């Protein structure tokens, strides 16, 4: 097996935060609801012990109907009993905490990234998701197109010939060299992504058998992206079972932090075909040189 992973993929602190935010958000809501339930039960126990008859009404001790009627306005008559109720205070406090908690996670940029529209009273926030998607697609596509153009250039051909000539490299060695270059290019802005790669000649991981079989059947690469892009515990995969000189090379490219798209697929497939073409060109040069030497 030939295996090269020169730079293990790193998941950044902010990616971990982005992954954990939904769980923190849910835990916070459950904690507030649990506090409301516990407080209400504790109040019911205390009320039942002190004044069982008032359990269902949960009125505050010392408050009577005559006190309410003697209020200076109808607001005192209607609002004061509501505010004076210990149970209502628990509900109001719980609802207030829920409101603050939800607003907090709408304001935090990491959680706000997926928000397209939010309205609260007279405050309305809206994000043009379609326009943002177009901009991001253009920004991401351009560097990948440049890398693809580089692989088809005479510079890449000359580098392949130099590797094969000076270092007696094989197909997998040249493939790994250019994968390292692509890996370095992906780390730069605006891509800012990481991936790991391995080239297998035998005994690939068993969990990839289905993807490898699908690649063999289609005679093309296969992409398998994780369902949740923010889940940094799972990987997205590019798998390519590639035939070169009657030998199979299985290229596995994986990423915890990004998804693969058609641009990635075309780029990595182009890499395999370009290395094969340049290798054949090198072998032709060697054959011609040998014929000239024997002539």
DSSP readout, 50-115? H-GGGTTT-PPTT--HHHHHTSSSHHHHHHHHHHH-HHHHHHHHHHHHHHHHHHHHHHSHHHHTT-
Whole-number pLDDT of residue 112: 47
Question: DSSP code of 153?
Answer: S
Residue 74 or residue 165, greater confidence: 165
Distance CA 67, CA 69 (A): 6
CA-closest candidate to residue 278, choices 124, 103, 166, 153: 153
Looking at the predicted structure, is the pLDDT value of residue 188 above 80? yes
pLDDT band for position 21 (50/70/90)? Answer: confident
Residue 129 or residue 234, greater confidence: 234
Mean pLDDT value across residues 19-31: 84
Distance CA 237, CA 260 (A): 7
pLDDT band for position 4 (50/70/90)? Answer: very low
Whole-number pLDDT of residue 68: 47
Residue 32: helix, strand or coil by DSSP? helix
DSSP readout, 188-227? STTT----EEEEESS---GGGHHHHHHHHHHTS-EEE--S
Mean pLDDT value across residues 197-217: 94
- Give percent above pLDDT 90 in the chain: 38
Element (H, E) at 238: strand 236-244
pLDDT band for position 247 (50/70/90)? Answer: very high
Looking at the predicted structure, is the pLDDT value of residue 141 above 70? yes
pLDDT band for position 6 (50/70/90)? Answer: very low
Q: Is the pTM of this model over 0.75?
A: no
């Amino acid at each position: 097996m030939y295996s090269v992973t020169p730079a293990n993929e790193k998941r950044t602190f902010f990616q971990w935060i982005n992954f954990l935010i939904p769980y923190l958000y849910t835990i916070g809501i459950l904690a507030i609801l649990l506090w409301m339930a516990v407080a209400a039960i504790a109040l019911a126990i205390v009320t039942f012990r002190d004044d069982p008859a008032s359990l269902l009404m949960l009125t505050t001790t010392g408050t009577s109907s005559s006190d309410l009627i003697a209020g200076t306005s109808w607001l005192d008559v209607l609002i004061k009993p509501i505010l004076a109720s210990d149970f209502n205070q628990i509900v109001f406090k719980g609802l207030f905490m829920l409101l603050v908690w939800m607003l907090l996670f709408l304001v935090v940029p990491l959680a706000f990234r997926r928000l397209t529209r939010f309205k609260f009273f007279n405050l309305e926030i809206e994000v043009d998701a379609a326009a943002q998607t177009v901009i991001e697609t253009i920004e991401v596509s351009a560097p990948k197109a440049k890398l693809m153009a580089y692989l088809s250039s005479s510079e890449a051909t000359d580098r392949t010939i130099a590797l094969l000539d000076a270092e007696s490299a094989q197909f997998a060695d040249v493939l790994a060299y250019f994968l390292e270059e692509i890996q370095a290019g992906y780390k730069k802005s605006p891509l800012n992504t990481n991936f790991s790669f391995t080239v297998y000649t035998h005994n690939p991981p068993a969990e990839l058998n289905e993807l490898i079989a699908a690649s063999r059947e289609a005679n093309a690469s296969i992409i398998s992206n994780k369902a949740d892009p923010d889940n940094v515990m799972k990987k997205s995969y590019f798998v390519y079972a590639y035939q070169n000189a009657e030998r199979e090379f299985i290229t596995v490219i994986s990423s915890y932090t990004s998804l693969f798209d058609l641009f990635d697929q075309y780029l990595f497939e182009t890499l395999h075909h370009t290395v094969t073409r340049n290798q054949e060109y090198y072998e032709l040069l060697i054959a011609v040189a040998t014929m000239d030497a024997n002539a």
